[in-house]
Each structure stands twice: as C-alpha cells, then as structure tokens.
C-alpha cells in the first residue's frame, strides 16, 4: 500500500507536465521534411536523423513548436487561424527502379547461400516513411528514409 501511495503523486506530476519545448531545428523538420530537406534545411535534417537515431518520433510534438498567443501581431490576431498539422509514419519495401510498396517490409532468408524466401519478390530493403498533413490533406510527397 505504501508503494502505491508513493507512486501515485509521481504519476500525477508526470501526467500534468506540459510537453517540452522543441528547439528551432526540431521544429524546422515540420517545414523541411515534406519538401525533402532542400538547401537551407541542413539543421532540420540533422535534427531528424538525431531523433531517428535515438528512437524518438520523427517529428516533435507540434504543440511544442506553436507560436504563443502573445507573439501574434495584433493587426492579424482577429483572422489568425493556425493550420492543423499532423503526420503518419510507416514502412515500405523498396523495389528496383526506386518504387516502394507501402505497408510491407522487405523480407528474405538465405539457406546455404541461396534465397529461399523473398517477399515481395525482388525487394531491395525496408525503408520507413513519413507523410505530413496540413488541414488533413497530404502536404507534398511522402519522405522515405532508411536507418
């Protein structure tokens, strides 16, 4: 019973903690990833790779990147409506010619040097992807990456 009483306050505090504020490079991922990290997005691409490497979600919580109400200029405050940004992630089997089959991973097994199982047939590797949505509509193309 004492253990439960000790854990309960800690659990309550952890649930009430607001999301950590993301840094500029992490927030820039939301802008740069849909366009494939063009020039000027080096910091965002590095932050993206760092997040993946440390098994974090590919994009930070959008709430941690939003503009504070006090930062909105008064002349546009009345009509200001932020876009609804979200993302979806998944896996794909990369096929020859650069084609991807979403929703499946590349699987093959060798026995004595021969491939005995290969699904989907001819796949090269398993890639991951992220699709960013703005107001529930796809924003640019899916971004495919390999660990």
Residues 58 and 101 in one domain: no
Average pLDDT along the chain: 82
Q: Give the residue numbers spanning the domain of 117.
A: 84-147
**The total number of structural domains that make up the chain:** 2
- Decide if 91 is inside a domain: yes
* Shared domain check, 88 and 59: no
Residue holding tokens 């800690």?
A: 10
**Tens-digit pLDDT profile for residues 119-137:** 999 999 999 999 999 989 9
User: For residue 115, is pLDDT > 50?
Assistant: yes
Q: What is the predicted pLDDT for the residue at 18?
A: 46
Q: Is residue 18 part of a domain?
A: no
Digit-coded pLDDT (tens) for 29-87: 999 999 999 999 999 999 999 999 999 999 998 878 876 666 777 777 777 777 788 99
pLDDT over threshold 70, residue 1: no
Question: Is 14 a member of any domain?
Answer: no
Residue 11 pLDDT greater than 50, yes or no: no
Give percent of the chain with pLDDT exceeding 90. 52
Query: Which of 15-19, 47-51, 79-83, 93-97 comes out lowest in average pLDDT?
Result: 15-19
Q: pTM score, two decimals?
A: 0.70
Based on the fold, state whether residues 57 and 92 are members of the same structural domain.
no
DSSP string, 2-63: HHHHHHHHHHHHHHHSPPPPPPHHHHHHHHHGGGTS-TT-HHHHHHHHHHHHTT--SS--GG
Q: How confident is the model at residue 8 (pLDDT cuts 50, 70, 90)?
A: very low
């Amino acid at each position: 019973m004492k253990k439960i009483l000790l854990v309960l306050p800690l659990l309550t505090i952890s649930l009430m903690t607001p999301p950590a504020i993301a840094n500029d490079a992490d927030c820039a991922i939301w802008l740069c990833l849909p366009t494939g990290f063009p020039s000027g997005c080096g910091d965002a691409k590095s932050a993206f790779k760092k997040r993946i490497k440390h098994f974090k979600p590919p994009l930070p919580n959008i709430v941690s990147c939003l503009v504070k109400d006090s930062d909105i200029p008064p002349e546009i405050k009345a009509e200001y409506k932020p876009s609804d940004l979200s993302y979806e992630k998944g896996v794909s089997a990369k096929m020859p010619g650069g084609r991807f089959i979403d929703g499946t991973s590349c699987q093959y097994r060798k026995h004595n040097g021969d491939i005995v199982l290969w699904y989907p047939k001819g796949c090269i590797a398993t890639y991951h992807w992220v699709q960013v949505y703005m107001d529930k509509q796809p924003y640019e193309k899916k971004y495919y990456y390999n660990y």
